[in-house]
Amino acid sequence: MGSIEAIETRREGKRPERTVYRLTEAGEQQMLGWLREMIATPVREPTSFFAALSFLPHLPPEHVQELLQQRVRGLEAEIGTLQMVLTTMTPKIGRLVLVEVEYLLALQRAELSWVQSLLEDLRTGRLTWSPQAACEMGAAASLADQSEDAC
């Protein structure tokens, strides 16, 4: 037996026919199993920012600092928007409907805190690098790159 089944076909005016589906009992059990697994099991879902962090040495620290400051401003704006949504919508529709917004807000706050600590390390010199040295290390490590002018 499949996960879904057609329950009716209808037409409104001159629009094409539309088939309405519903979950079968087997489909509902499968969906609930997926839901349980997604809630219980942490999964690392890398982001483009996560990937970009691997390439920080290719930019000058001063440039990274400017870019991270832009990211801080963006995160602060997103956090403000999420807080406003929660403040205005929770009394109207209840917390349960907005728990994913709470989760997103918590993630944004954690990222903001981490980015701010990274910025502080850049400002104070606790974290620094030379893009040229990083490039040369990467070129030396790469067997595929035979060019000495890679940097």
Structure-block tokens of residue 26: 């087997």
Residues 85 and 13 in one domain: no
Q: Which residues pair with 29 in a beta bridge?
A: none
- Tell me: pLDDT of 148 over 70: no
Nearest residue to 52 (alpha-carbon basis) of 70, 29, 77, 33 = 70
Number of separate domains in the chain: 2
In a domain, 26, yes or no: yes
pLDDT, tens digit, 9 for 90 and up, residues 116-125: 999 999 999 9
Is 21 in contact with 28 (CB distance < 8 Å)? no
Q: Do 71 and 53 belong together in one domain?
A: yes
- 118 and 75 in contact (C-beta within 8 Å)? no
How much is the pTM?
0.76
110: containing domain: 48-141
HSE of 36, CA atoms in CB hemisphere, 13 A = 6
